[in-house]
Amino acid sequence: MILQYNHHGKNWRAHLDHPEDLSIPMSAEGPRAWYVPPPQITPVMDNGFVGSISGGGKVNFFNVQFNPHGNGTHTETLGHIDPDHFPISEWKGPFIAHALLISVKPAIIEKEGEHDKVILWDQIKDDVEKFKPAALIIRTLPNRKDKLNCDYSNSHIPYLDYRIGENLNRLGVLHLLVDLPSVDREQDGGLLQCHHAFWGFPEDPRYDATITELIFVKDEVKDGLYCLFLQPPSFQNDAAPSRPLIYRTIPSEGDIEESF
């Protein structure tokens, strides 16, 4: 199947048969952050009912307990910082977006007596302004395999300078995806500067914009332009587990029957 679409007046074509999955499965062995425990997935056992075939039951019928911000890949709305609590169930898209994948090695800067690893706007500025994507996917370097099962709590995590949020907002980038547990510093006194800048909150809130964290981009997935499919489940919560898919996209010279 081939999707044809138009972005900023240019036609693009994406082959939908070969997606790259950027999500990390939520499991007890998966990554976690913010001091939350691993997710618990347990069979219902009640009044003789056994919710596990391997345990002697007729069906698998499990309870799942987790924190979407701390257990695995998740997408969040500005409800994350909005006291009025804008849930992801009310987010109406766009679910499909022209995306740019960039790999970046964080810079080292001194802050509060520590050496922070920070991604700076100047490191990504040229590519973002050149390609004008609707979504930006950031893969941090080195691309360690322990991103798949790391406990990030109290680990001095790399983060994004808030000017990235400001400039992505200015350029109209609607989706920001990172392989970090947060776009902001782990200990920042609750400022969440990059979150606020990206969403324009509270001055000019962008209810159509999302942030997706704790993704993983395999080494064999090359930097470049993709078509992003993003549709998290309809939770009455500011964040939900997510499975972002990307498809390689190329310029198309043919007619566009449908566009987004």
CB under 8 Å to 55, separation ≥6 — which residues?
43
Same domain, 204 and 215: yes
- Residues 157 and 58 grouped into a single domain: no
61 lies in the same domain as 144 = no
229 inside domain = yes
User: Does 140 lie in the same domain as 51?
Assistant: no
144, part of any domain: yes
Q: Pick 255 or 197 by higher pLDDT.
A: 197
Q: Is the pLDDT of residue 258 over 50?
A: no
Query: Is 153 inside a domain boundary?
Result: yes
**For range 100-125, the mean pLDDT:** 95
Same domain, 180 and 100: yes
Residues 43 and 140 in one domain: no
Q: Looking at the structure, do residues 87 and 50 belong to the same domain, yes or no?
A: no
Alpha-carbon torsion, ordered 46, 48, 52, 57, to 10 deg? -160
- Give yes or no for a contact between 32 and 70, defined as CB atoms under 8 angstroms apart: yes
Residues 126 and 52 in one domain: no
Q: Provide mean pLDDT across the span 199-213.
A: 98
User: Which residue range(s) make up the domain with 59?
Assistant: 35-66
Residue closest to 241 by CA, chosen among 82, 85, 66: 66
Domain end (from 66, 89, 119)? 66
- The predicted structure's pLDDT at residue 259: 34
Average pLDDT over residues 237-250: 97
- Of the chain, the percentage scoring pLDDT greater than 90 comes to 94
Decide: 240 and 74 in contact? Cβ < 8 Å.
Answer: yes
Indicate the number of domains in the chain.
Answer: 2
pLDDT digits (tens, 9 = 90+) for 151-163: 999 988 999 999 9
Assess if residue 258 is contained within a domain.
no
The pLDDT value recorded for residue 114 is: 85
Does 117 fall in a domain? yes
The stretch 120-131 carries a mean pLDDT of: 98
Same domain, 85 and 149: yes
| pLDDT, average across residues 164-175 | 98
Residue 257 belongs to a domain: no
Same domain, 161 and 201: yes
**Average pLDDT of every residue of the chain:** 95
Q: For 181-194, what is each residue's pLDDT tens digit?
A: 999 999 999 999 99
Note whether 49 and 82 are same-domain residues.
no
Q: What percent of the chain has pLDDT over 70?
A: 97
